[in-house]
Amino acid sequence: MAPTLYDVKPEVGDLIEIYRGTYQHWAVYVGDGFIVHLAPPSEVVGAGASSMMSVLYEKALVKKEDLWDVVGTNEWKINNSLDEECEPRPAEVIVRDACAMVGKELPYCVFRGNCEHFATELRYGKAESRQVRKAGQTVMVAGAAAFLGLGLVALAGAFFGGGKKENKNEK
């Protein structure tokens, strides 16, 4: 079950990860129940898998919205897991920089400049997207498996059917 207003209280500067089914949407908590996030036109509550249409957009708008309006009925959590690797910037700097971005239209690329890149850059001063990295690793593993699979098919073909071919013109 998704956390409610009474279960968990984010701290200023926390990263909020919202589960949208096939992907996660990310935001920065700026206090008083509000978040700042990079929202492509398809990022709306309840959009589900159709939010994957964000790959088609080249621009996104930085918005300041009520956390609960953006979360809707989706599950979410505070996710500052990069704190183990990176030093978070001071909370007041995160909030100042996040709020200064509100209303700006920024370049958007699901692979190089998505909502997670935006949020992690605000918190750590370094844009990173673990879901893009994870997806890339999955694609690489699938590609390697397909490559190996094709190699095994070729090997099996050579072993089982690779004998001398008959030439129909031979007598």
Q: What's residue 8's pLDDT? A: 79
For the stretch 12-71, pLDDT in tens is 999 999 998 888 999 999 999 999 999 988 775 544 443 444 456 689 999 999 999 999
What pTM was computed for the model?
0.71
For the chain, the domains span 15-128, 130-161
- Kindly report the CATH class assigned to 15-128: alpha beta
Active site residue 117: no
Gyration radius from the chain CA atoms = 23
**Would you say 113 and 55 are in contact if contact means Cβ atoms under 8 Å apart?**
no
Angle CA(36)–CA(65)–CA(33) in degrees, nearest 5?
Answer: 90
- The structure tokens listed for 29 are 């908590």
Give me the amino acid identity at 55. V
Asked if residue 141 has pLDDT above 70, the reply is no
Q: Per the residue annotation, which of 25, 86, 99, 109 is the catalytic one? A: 25
Active site residue 99: no
Q: Residue 137: exposed, middle, or buried by beta-carbon count in 10 A (0-12, 13-18, 19+)?
A: exposed
Give me the amino acid identity at 7. D
